């Protein structure tokens, strides 16, 4: 049996994620208290047609959330394939989403601001975010989240999964990253009007950056650093490591370098997933 727990901040996309998993054949339950997870598993084990379960866990059951890490440990001991996804987003994005939908925050008491509620929610959920694969939905469309959830579901957990994502600093730092490399110091194709409209996966930009010695040095230095330390993450029982490569707009240099690193790391024993946030 496979169990996926979906948690994270209100407004970050938990309901959307559960719908995606339901469409993928999972038996889904929203807002189940952690203390009832064992009961659900025992009940579903009696049903031979249910092999995949997804459960939403959030602050609506906050009085019991401290139990979740221990419950996950017990489930793993029982041989239940258990994975945890934590959906996160920048505070300004969450405030905007609540404003647009006119929804009330689950922790709102009528006196505190949404910002205050989000801060408290982050503290309440900190134990869960520490054991989960974090996904920053700040810049994601519903379709983008769908792709990430499907990648997560289909990942090979017998090995370390490396997520390499490009991004633009002007749109904010990705908050789900384990490593962030800033490549804004490198030659910028944006200033060449003949190739400006292309992106880092297209031939004019590739040709331009291939010829830049500093760009190649940066790729080699990042790669050497990563191959030295990625093994330590694997020994720490990590399933995912997220590496973010950022340039100014997330269109040229970061995309090119992310693609180059993915090709190099693919030759090793790791599974590589690549994402381009701004494309």
In DSSP notation, 92-103 reads HHHHHHHHHHTP
Q: For the segment 67-116, what is each residue's pLDDT rounded down to a tens digit?
A: 778 888 888 888 888 889 999 999 999 999 888 878 888 888 778 888 99
Q: Are residues 257 and 184 in the same domain?
A: yes
> Would you state the pLDDT for residue 9?
92
For 209, the domain range is 161-276
Residue 77 tokens read as 């001991």
pLDDT of 132 reads 87
Same domain, 217 and 235: yes
d(CA 155, CA 209): 31
Number of domains in the chain: 2
Q: Which of 95, 121, 154 is the last residue of a domain?
A: 154
Would you state the pLDDT for residue 237?
65
Which of helix, strand or coil describes residue 162? strand
**148 plus 234 within the same structural domain:** no
The CA distances from residue 127 to 7, 13, 62, 180, 211, in Å, are: 11, 19, 12, 23, 46
Residues 138, 55 share a domain: yes
Residues of the chain with pLDDT under 50: none
What is the pLDDT, as a whole number, of residue 46? 62
Global pTM? 0.76
């Amino acid at each position: 049996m496979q169990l996926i727990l979906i948690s994270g901040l209100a407004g970050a996309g938990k309901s959307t994620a559960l719908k995606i998993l339901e469409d993928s054949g999972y038996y889904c339950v929203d807002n189940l208290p952690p203390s009832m997870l064992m009961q659900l598993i025992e009940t579903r084990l009696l049903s031979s047609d249910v092999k995949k379960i997804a459960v939403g866990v959030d602050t609506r059951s906050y009085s019991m959330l401290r139990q979740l890490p221990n419950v996950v440990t017990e489930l793993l001991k029982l041989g239940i394939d258990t994975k945890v996804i934590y959906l996160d987003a920048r505070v300004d994005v969450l405030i905007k989403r609540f404003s647009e939908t006119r929804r009330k925050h689950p922790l709102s008491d009528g006196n505190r601001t949404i910002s205050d509620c989000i801060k408290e929610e982050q503290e309440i959920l900190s134990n869960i975010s520490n054991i989960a694969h974090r996904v920053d939905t700040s810049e994601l469309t519903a379709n983008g989240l769908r792709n990430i959830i499907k990648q997560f579901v289909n990942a090979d957990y017998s090995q370390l999964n490396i997520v390499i994502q490009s991004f633009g600093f002007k749109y904010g730092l990705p908050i789900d990253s384990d490593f962030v490399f800033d490549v804004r110091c490198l030659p910028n194709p944006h200033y060449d009007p003949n190739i400006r409209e292309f992106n880092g996966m297209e031939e004019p930009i590739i040709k331009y950056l291939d010829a830049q010695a500093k760009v190649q040095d940066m790729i080699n230095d990042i790669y050497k650093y990563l191959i030295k330390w990625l093994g330590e993450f694997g020994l720490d029982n990590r399933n995912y490591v997220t590496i973010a490569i950022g340039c100014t707009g997330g269109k040229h240099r970061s995309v090119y370098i992310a693609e180059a690193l993915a090709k190099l790391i693919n030759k090793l024993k790791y599974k590589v997933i690549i994402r381009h946030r701004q494309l």
